[in-house]
Amino acid sequence: MSLHLHESVSLKPFNTFGVEVKARLFAEARSDDEVREALAEAERLGLPLLPVGGGSNLLLTGDVEALVLRMASRGLRIFEDDGERVLVEAEAGEPWHPFVLWSLEQGLSGLENLSLIPGTVGAAPMQNIGAYGVEISDVFAGLTALDRQSGELREFGLEECAFAYRDSLFKQQPGRWLILRVRFALSRKATLRLDYGPVRQRLQQEGIETPTARDVSRAICAIRSEKLPDPAELGNAGSFFKNPVVPIELAERIRAEHADLVSYPAGEGLAKLAAGWLIERAGWKDFREGDAGVHRLQALVLVNHGAATGSELLALARRIQADIERRFGVALEIEPNVI
């Protein structure tokens, strides 16, 4: 067996909250065969298998009685290029932001708005990650996943993935699919998405009137660095709550009391509210209790100031949820996977 199993391994380096918990067993899979070996070992030992990527969408609330499998396969390739539309494929273990930079180095556009998002390529479709007006589904061209029930490989197209806001088939069916590699349709002819004001404003401040994809990427990196803490310096998992979609009537009732409510159209009769605005207006921004807190610059981000446990962070999240429900009648949904 090429897979190496390790007992009682700290998962602190493998979750961006920096929570100190231990895995009963831990292994890294660098190939499809090692993924299959891990599945077989977990079944033989009677343990669940918990796959992880960069740990950037994970809240661990206690020691994990499972075989934790870090998806560590690497590889980037261009497999179709007609001079304009280019199909690229990335292995699941590729870190996301370096993959975005690689695509830009190849002269490709499409991923620039998703710059500086933590995590790995394999985890990206799970959440249908998105930022600044672009989601994975906008550039998705397919993926290969292992069916944990049958052991067979399956190819998924766009429709089969059931992508929605921070959602997908793979999130809806936890424990069934292991994503092995993902394909993206990118372009050599940039069609830039500058819908979000801060991006356009940043480019204007830099005197860039005709931006390239690289310009957009650099602007977004700068904006994210100013707004969001670096997990290497302050434990966090990025946005902790989804922006809630509510009936337009509820949004208007809130706006009647709070004229500066931040909201966006979300389909007929619906509005998407900025969860960060709700949390900040409720007074939680820069809140701290022990080492569990809310970021001082972005109320949507929960942070670990050093030694917070996952249970303490979850308890803080629950308090925020209850307060927002009481004040505004809005239910906030936690974005990271809670284990």
- List the catalytic residue out of 34, 37, 41, 335: 335
Give Cβ neighbours of residue 148 (< 8 Å, ≥ 6 apart): 39, 49, 175, 176, 177, 178
Annotated active-site residue 8? The verdict is: no
Active site annotation includes 218: no
- 270-273 β-sheet, strand order: 245-247, 270-273, 263-265
Question: Residues near 189 by Cβ (< 8 Å), separated by ≥ 6?
Answer: 84, 109
Q: Name the active-site residue from 56, 109, 168, 239.
A: 239
99: how many CB neighbours lie within 10 A of its CB?
21
List the catalytic residue out of 70, 148, 166, 202. Answer: 166
Q: Is 166 a catalytic residue?
A: yes
The catalytic residues are: 166, 239, 335
